[in-house]
Amino acid sequence: MLFRASHSRPSHSLTALAGAALLALSAALPARAETALVAVAANFAGVAGELSEMYGAASGDEVTLTIGSTGKLFAQIGEGAPFDAMLSADAATPRKLEEAGQGVEGSRFTYAIGRLALWSPEEGRIGEDGAAALTDAGLRHVAIANPELAPYGAAAREALQGMGLWDTLQPKIVMGQNIGQTHSMVASGAAETGFVALSALLDPENPAGGSRWEVPQELYAPIRQDAVLLEAGAQNTAAQGFLAFLKSPEAQEVIRSYGYAVE
């Protein structure tokens, strides 16, 4: 689906310093506005919307976001979808694109490091021991993103395997096609609990209630989320400018506010 940024609240990052930096960025870009089509992993949708709005306000360029699971976006690129850049939920996919000649060599970088959380909208369901919540006799369903399509799903599977619960919980596991759908399954009550992106629970515009357990980092490999400029956007200054903006202190401030780590 197409996602166009429409945030109207004043961004917490638009301080005087941020404004000056954005003006400097704008001045450094060509005067002619351009449009970029960027494929964005579902877990980063809200952040990307805010960042694309900030970048567009400064540069005059338009960044249109297509949101989906990393696996499906990768498949669409392989089928010729005209994306100019990709913000993946992992590091492997941009590397594959670059190796296949579909990504611009040397353009890959880590724009965010994701974190995983076990969440329930119900207060008190999840305490300090995530394993206890997962082995509660009354638990019927646990939602995870499809591990074959979504890096957050792969991380959830890895965490469950690390806790020795993957096989035990098989009858109770329900899967979303991406981490956004998985979050919706838990929020709607289709599953009492589920492994979601911590960023979705810390959204400054819509922080989640309920209870959560932040999965210890030692239970899963860091979810390094890499961006890559695609061959279709190799000459697209809007795509180049947006990726460059992601590395700025102002953009990184916003990314951290959603619960991600940055380098």
- Are both 123 and 66 inside the same structural domain? no
Amino acid at 179: I
At 189, is the secondary structure helix, strand, or coil? coil
- Are both 28 and 88 inside the same structural domain? yes
pLDDT tens column, 190-240: 999 999 999 889 877 777 899 999 999 999 999 999 999 999 999 999 999
CB 55 within 8 A of CB 242: yes
Spatial CA neighbour of 52 closest among 84, 98, 90: 84
Section 102-118 average pLDDT: 97
The model carries a pTM of: 0.76
- Are both 50 and 175 inside the same structural domain? no
Section 30-35 average pLDDT: 73
- Domain-embedded: residue 140: yes
Q: What angle do CA 234, 236, 237 make, to 5 degrees?
A: 120
Strand ranges of the sheet holding 2-3, from the earlier edge strand across to the other edge: 2-3, 62-68, 35-41, 85-87, 223-229, 109-114
- Are both 56 and 8 inside the same structural domain? yes
pLDDT given at position 134: 97
| CATH assignment of the domain containing 171 | 3.40.190.10
pLDDT tens column, 169-197: 999 999 998 888 999 999 999 999 999 99
- Domain-embedded: residue 262: no
Owning domain of residue 185: 116-214
Give how many domains the chain has, as a whole number. Answer: 2
- Are both 168 and 229 inside the same structural domain? no
